Amino acid sequence: MEQQYRSRLNSLPVELKEEIASYVLQWGMTATNRRLGILDAFKRHNVQVDELGTGTNRLIVKYQGYALKIALDDEGIDDNRQEWVMSERLYPYVARAYEISGDIIKKDDGTCEIIGGHLLVADYAPAFSSWGEMIIYQPKIRKILEMWSHSYLLGDVGITKKNFANWGLLHGKPVCIDYAYIFPGEMKLFQCICGNDNLDINRSDFSSYTCTNPDCRKKFSDSELRARIPNSKRHALFSAVEGISMKEEFEIHDVDPKYIKQSNVRIKAPIDVDPMEIAKIVCHAVGYYDNGTLGI
């Protein structure tokens, strides 16, 4: 069975994507300056977007009715990649991710490699505007978190004042719109200092954990647990992403539940090379950013 798929990423001008890509390679640039530069690039290329918000690591804009999540640094790239991987597992209780781009990552040895993640296209679900609005939907959110708590380590999604903007409404139902710190429990990501690897979540707000060892009972916030997860464990989530690779805005493909096949291509270049030149080489040589996926 075949159907037509549409890539929102491939509808963006290549020159714009090259310019956005170059920002992740700028050493010493603050997140604020990256954000301002990217927003200015959209204006200069006459691409209409509405800024939805900026976190520590990502800028989010509304584009053609979808949320376009733009990484501002390496952590933002990992956030996009994790949401891409976790979207299928957590759907329909999250704003679903439809497309992910290829990207350039700086390495400590001064080289660059291409992996997915600089741009992510997801469902647009307006974030809750206040803690009070989250409280209105608390019963439904609590049921979702209870279900997730049996299989996942939950981060930044609990029912607390600092997390209300990580949830929103889609078709009148609450969904999580920032789930970059939800980890599958089967990865055994954390072990208590007592050696026990069983932790019980605090069900009053789903934002902390307690060691189940009766002789320990040490408590941890979800952010404390996340800080203990090695990057190697987090990156293990991204190693088997498969799906449809697209080069044009509209293409016909067999129906497939996944949306992008990540490239195994690696390009090495010294960091002092002009980031814009690296971005151009990758865009035109291996379809960087043209390997978007689909938004139906």
End-to-end CA distance of the chain: 16
What per-residue confidence (pLDDT) applies to 45? Answer: 97
Given a cut of 50, is residue 194 above it in pLDDT?
Answer: yes
What is the tens place of the pLDDT at every residue in 120-174?
A: 999 999 999 999 999 999 999 999 999 999 999 999 999 999 999 999 999 999 9
Average pLDDT for residues 35-44, to the nearest whole number? 96
Q: What CA–CA distance (Å, rounded) separates 96 from 271?
A: 34
Token pair 């979702």 is found at 144
Supply angle C-alpha 142, 120, 272, rounded to 5: 130
CA nearest 105: which of 253, 247, 292, 269? 269
What per-residue confidence (pLDDT) applies to 290? Answer: 35
What per-residue confidence (pLDDT) applies to 289? Answer: 34
Spatial contact of 27 and 33, defined as CB atoms under 8 Å apart: no
The DSSP output letter for 203 is T
What per-residue confidence (pLDDT) applies to 292? Answer: 40
Given a cut of 70, is residue 188 above it in pLDDT?
Answer: no
To the nearest whole percent, how much of the chain has pLDDT over 90?
A: 51
Q: Which residue has the higher pLDDT, 91 or 22?
A: 91
Average pLDDT for residues 32-43, to the nearest whole number? 95
What per-residue confidence (pLDDT) applies to 245? Answer: 74
What per-residue confidence (pLDDT) applies to 118? Answer: 86
Q: What CA–CA distance (Å, rounded) separates 83 from 182?
A: 9
Q: Model confidence at 106, in pLDDT bands (50, 70, 90)?
A: low
Q: Model confidence at 247, in pLDDT bands (50, 70, 90)?
A: confident
Spatial contact of 120 and 83, defined as CB atoms under 8 Å apart: yes
What per-residue confidence (pLDDT) applies to 274? Answer: 52
The residues, any chain, with a CB within 8 Å of residue 35's CB and separated by 6 or more, are 54, 59, 72
Q: What CA–CA distance (Å, rounded) separates 137 from 216?
A: 35
Q: What CA–CA distance (Å, rounded) separates 187 from 177?
A: 23
| Domain residue spans of the chain | 2-125+238-286, 131-176+190-228
Tokens at residue 174, please?
A: 């609450």
Spatial contact of 265 and 249, defined as CB atoms under 8 Å apart: no
Given a cut of 80, is residue 285 above it in pLDDT?
Answer: no
Given a cut of 60, is residue 6 above it in pLDDT?
Answer: yes
What is the tens place of the pLDDT at every residue in 47-85?
A: 999 999 988 899 999 999 999 999 998 899 899 989 999
What per-residue confidence (pLDDT) applies to 271? Answer: 41
The rounded radius of gyration (Å) of the Cα atoms in the chain is: 20
pLDDT mean across residues, the chain: 82
What are the Cα distances from residue 239, in Å, to 80, 82, 84, 115, 248?
14, 11, 12, 10, 25
